[in-house]
Chains A and B, each alone.
Chain A
Amino acid sequence: MTAAIEVENLRCEFRVHTGLMSAEKRVVAVDDVTFSVPAGSVLGIVGESGCGKSTLARLILGLLKPTGGSVLVDGKRLFDLDRKARARLIQPVFQDPFASLNPRRRIKDIVALPLAAQGTFSRGEIERRVGGILERVGLSAAMGERMPAQLSGGQRQRAAIARALVLEPRIVICDEPTSALDVSVQAQILNLLADLRRDLGLTYLFISHNLAVVEHVASEVAVMYLGRFVERNETDALFRKPRHPYTQALLESVLTPEPGKGVPDIGLGDAMPDPSNIPPGCRFNPRCRIAVERCRHEAPKPMVRPPRGMVECHLA
């Protein structure tokens, strides 16, 4: 089976100027990441804010040029494809549908735009497809006549999903698609995304800071820390037997609705990671509970772990 997404030694640096006099800083947002996503599966990506999740998403979507390494989507390099072909292959769904929907257009025109941009669909065909996808995501024809501001947050996210799927792409990159929504609406959207994936055979890259959400939707999960995948495995294995101390801390910090359990002590300290100043050795060592001397000067290499995973830690 060909991989839907194949990423090799991917790297992305930003140069930022911090002040008038200060020197340029180098922010390493994605630092030598390699993985592949089998067609029809869902790779979930978790990690704290600033660890590089959105940068990775933009690299895969071809919205950002990597500093090094390569991305293949359905076996092709996105930079070799024109915009139209790219749009038929891969589409994004972002966190804030309000920011990504043109406020001055009706919903049905927003959803029609990707079709119109192809230049190959007749008016009748466009109308038929837009009607079909709106219905599929649970928006009535009357909703299609409205402006984005006249919809609730959940309805706007449905519209964004309709726009992403109207060209019937193979791959959808979801970057925190439910993070701005209330739980009851989040559940509606997650159920919708799951149905669509099953019915249309889609592949998702699903980014979220909510581990429970990722556990619910993903077949495999990668844990990102300061630009790297520090652990990756099948979802059940990762949640049942987290090996990396950072994965363990992340899982412990999830507050499940179980009264009487109190709030766990995850012991990470108050030193926050800074991608412009990545520590030598293991990048997690300043916050690691079990770090040993070796961790401060030698970076751990990725090691294979069953059933289909990897971890980067000297002690895991």
Chain B
Amino acid sequence: MSALLDVEELQVTFGRTAAVRGASFRVERGETHCLVGESGCGKSVTALAVMNLLARGGQRSAKKMSFAGTDLTSLSDREMARLRGNRMAMIFQEPMTSLNPAFTIGSQMAEVMTRHKGGSRAAALDRAAELMGRVGITAPGMRLGQFPHQLSGGLRQRVMIAMALMCDPELLIADEPTTALDVTVQAQILRLLAGLKRELGLSILLITHDLGIVARVADHVSVMYAGEVVERAPTADLFRAPQHPYTRGLLSCVPVPGRVQRDRPLGSIPGVVPAIGPGFAGCAFRSRCAHADETCTRAIPRHQAGDAHDYLCRLEPDWAELQPA
């Protein structure tokens, strides 16, 4: 079966800034796909480009961008609006940006449903209450009558998830949904998302900068750096045998509880992400890469390291490391 969301060679520019430079990835049905990378690498812009929600001045183009067989680039704004919130829904890091402070939770949830599916307000409120119970909110009836500011950050994110589920979407795009939350609440929200995926067959495109989250929830991973997907792999393969020097560097930076060795420095990646202007060629990681040589300023090949594992680097795969354990 073909992928639910298939993006090939996505490019997004804001004037002279190239925010996304040929990103390709696929979200399979019923899977969680993580886009991971450090701030500014183009994760949010990629998601917004898929949803056709780019800020003014943002220009997108792609060799292919299809959702459930529909070519997204060919849809009119109206047709796209009909998909959004309906068959594909999105939640953000800060729920307050997408909740209206002047309306109750109940009326905002009901509105999503009546806009896309019609039906009565009473029926929509019933569904809202049912979904709030589903996402682990106690006393949904009381919560429906409350305003967004009356809820804690964790509860607001649960409300956003319930709202995104109102129309039974096939794809949920979640952009750093737990970044603003405490670790305890984060674990609860991620557990909830994993359960929804399993029970509703939901596909999830999860954007995060946190490799711990990736390891625990993703089926497949795309690692982004400076607007490109530099490595794609099934999750277990990525953590077992990362091939791109950036992925390797990133993994070495993460302190792992129980395994840290005090008085030993953490791994780190020297330098900073370069500014990428128009006409930039070659590997964007070369200013920070220990393996860089003069060929890294030219076109970089994409190497295949396994069935669904590839990466963008001049270095050959390390086959010894890639052998199944």
Contact = CB atoms under 8 A, between A and B. Distances in A.
| A-B pairs, 9 with minimum CB distance | A255-B212, A187-B268, A182-B38, A184-B269, A253-B187, A187-B253, A187-B266, A212-B255, A48-B182
Contact of B184 (A183, A210, A250, A258): A250
Given A154-B272, A186-B253, A270-B155, A258 B215 contact: yes
Q: Range of interface residues on chain B?
A: 35 or more
22 contacts: A152-B272, A154-B272, A183-B211, A184-B38, A186-B253, A187-B253, A187-B267, A190-B266, A191-B266, A209-B182, A212-B254, A212-B255, A212-B257, A216-B262, A235-B262, A253-B187, A255-B187, A255-B215, A257-B214, A259-B239, A261-B216, A263-B191
B254 A260 contact: no
Which of A187, A259, A262 has the most CB atoms of chain B within a 10 A radius of its CB?
A259
B9 to A, nearest CB: 26
A268 interface: yes
A285 B163 CA distance: 31
Interface of B: 38-39, 136-138, 152, 154-155, 158, 182-184, 186-188, 190-191, 194, 209-217, 235-236, 238-240, 249-258, 260, 262-263, 265-270, 272
B188 A266 contact: yes
Interface in A226-276: 235, 239-240, 249-266, 268, 270, 272
Contacts, number: 142
Contacts of A155: 272
Contacts of A258: 215-216, 239
B215 A272 contact: no
Interface of A: 48-49, 152, 154-155, 182-188, 190-191, 194, 209-213, 215-217, 219, 235, 239-240, 249-266, 268, 270, 272
A188 B268 contact: yes
A51 to B, nearest CB: 9
A183 B38 contact: yes
Contacts of A154: 272
A191 to B, nearest CB: 4
B183 A272 contact: no
Nearest to B270: A188
B44 to A, nearest CB: 14
A244 to B, nearest CB: 14
